Amino acid sequence: MDVIWQGIKEGFLLIIAMDPELVQITLLSIQVSVSALLLAAIMGIPLGTVLALKEFPGRKTLLNITYTFMGLPPVLAGLLVFLFLSTSGPLGYFQLMFTPTAMITAQVLLGFPIVCGLTARAVMAQPQEVFDTAATLGATRRQASWVIIRESRMGIIAALTTALGRLIAEVGAVMMVGGNIKGETRVLTTSIVLETRMGNDSSALAIGMVLLLIAFLIMLLILSLEKRTFKDERRIQIV
């Protein structure tokens, strides 16, 4: 119990003191995961929409592969990126191992199937009437697709939230391809592992608190976004 109290106390002190090393680690965590999320979104939202709306051979298979990869273990994502980027790998020439770029790449691999799969689900859940209404009002296919995406935006925001939560909290991939190098590739989750290994349980717990705080702030951001977007949304009332 002592360790826990010590950790909480230390955590507060660290946060209040804005310890420079902790700030740097925190910012890198956010930078890596948010960059990965943005890249995953740029590819995943359009691709998920196409998988949901366009009829082509292999569509079902691609969807199933996407759903499977939604559960990709982070270490496996790390391993795949490692095989490509390590000096003997096909992209070894670029010397990207143990850089934030490698970490972002691995996290894109984790985030992309989540964004893509959940976007496809959200779009497929839309009724035929969305297209019909847009078409009878004169929309082109492209315009109608836009309105379908617009109608799916609650589900797409949920997809982004889920993916970001996964990325900011994962340790396997960033550890594997980042290497937890102090000042370069150390992020919050890898610091926790390190501190625990070195026996600094309360420090580990303190960093964990920072991680929770970030999760909380992200949730606040998304909630305020949702409030703006869904201020008119009718909720199911159970009386």
Partner 1 sequence: MNAEFKLFNISKRYGQREVLNIDNLEIGGGRIYCILGPNGAGKTTLFRIMSLLTLNDTGKIHVLGEEVTWQKNQVVRLRRKMAMVTQTSFMFEGSVYYNVAYGLRVRNTPAAEERKTVNESLELLGMMDFINQPARNLSGGERQKVAIARALAVKPRVLFLDEPTSNIDPASALDIERYIQYINKEMGTTIIMVTHNLFQARRLSEEIFFMWEGKIIEKGESEELFEHAQDKRTRSFIKGEIVF
Query: Can you give the binding site for partner 1, defined by CB under 8 A?
Result: 127, 129-130, 132-141, 143, 147, 150-151, 232, 234
Distance in Å, CB of 154 to partner 1, minimum: 9
Helix pair 141-151, 128-136: axis angle to 10 deg: 140
Where do the H-state alpha helices sit in 70-99?
74-85
Closest to partner 1 by CB, 78 or 155 = 155
* Nearest distance in Å: CB 146, partner 1: 9
**Closest separation between CB of residue 48 and partner 1, Å?**
19
Q: Which is nearer to partner 1, 8 or 135 (CB)?
A: 135
Classify burial at 139, counting beta carbons within 10 Å of its beta carbon; exposed 0-12, middle 13-18, buried 19 or more. Answer: middle
151 or 195: CB nearest partner 1:
151
Handedness of CA 46, 47, 51, 55 (dihedral sign): positive
Nearer to partner 1 among residue 152 and residue 200 (C-beta): 152
When the beta carbons of 10 and 151 are compared against partner 1, the nearer one is 151
Residue 115: HSE in the Cβ half-sphere, 13 Å Cα cutoff = 25
The one-letter amino acid at 82 = F
CB of 226 to partner 1, least distance (A): 13
Answer for the pair 154, 122: CB distance below 8 angstroms, yes or no: yes
Show the CA angle centred on residue 159, arms to residues 156 and 165, nearest 5°: 145
Is the CB of residue 158 less than 8 Å from the CB of residue 176? no
Q: How far is the CB of 133 from partner 1 (least distance, A)?
A: 5
